Amino acid sequence: MPLIRVSLRRGKPAAYRKAILEGLYEAMRETFDVPEGDRFMVVTEHDADDFVYDPNYLGIKRSDDLVIIQLTISNTRPRAQKQKLYRRIVERLTENPGLRAEDIFINLVEVLPENWSFGHGVAQYVK
């Protein structure tokens, strides 16, 4: 159950933001075996003064269209599967809504399965 947070500069249309979320969801379904309907996603828009990044860090030429994607996931997937996810996200988001690969920043935060409660104050993944 990934929890996805997307941060970007303010001003993109709703269809653009929706395309990002849809692309992320489809990439997770294709590479992470995320079940249908497992959608917990938030988009946060920021004014320029509140969205700070290095436009050349590690030699990658970023623009103001940078999208920062943070996925909180259970620590159950191997490195190769994570790398497939990164590639598929970039493929999906360059296709729609047309992001540049350089403007897609992805960060995974891994937590133990016991760190999730989907409601009712119960840790549903604890057996």
List 2, 13, 35, 78, catalytic entry: 2
Residue 125 lies inside a defined structural domain of this protein: no
Domain count, the chain: 1
Q: What is the CATH number of the domain that holds 52?
A: 3.30.429.10
DSSP class per residue in 73-115:
EES---HHHHHHHHHHHHHHHHHTT---GGGEEEEEEEE-GGG
pLDDT score for 125: 86
> Which residue, 39, 37, 40, 44, is CA-closest to 12?
44
The whole-chain average pLDDT of the chain stands at: 96
pLDDT score for 49: 97
Give the model's confidence band at 17: pLDDT under 50 very low, under 70 low, under 90 confident, else very high: very high
Domain that holds residue 10: 3-115
102 burial level (CB within 10 Å; 0-12, 13-18, 19+): middle
113 has catalytic annotation: no
Radius of gyration of the chain (CA): 15
Give the model's confidence band at 34: pLDDT under 50 very low, under 70 low, under 90 confident, else very high: very high
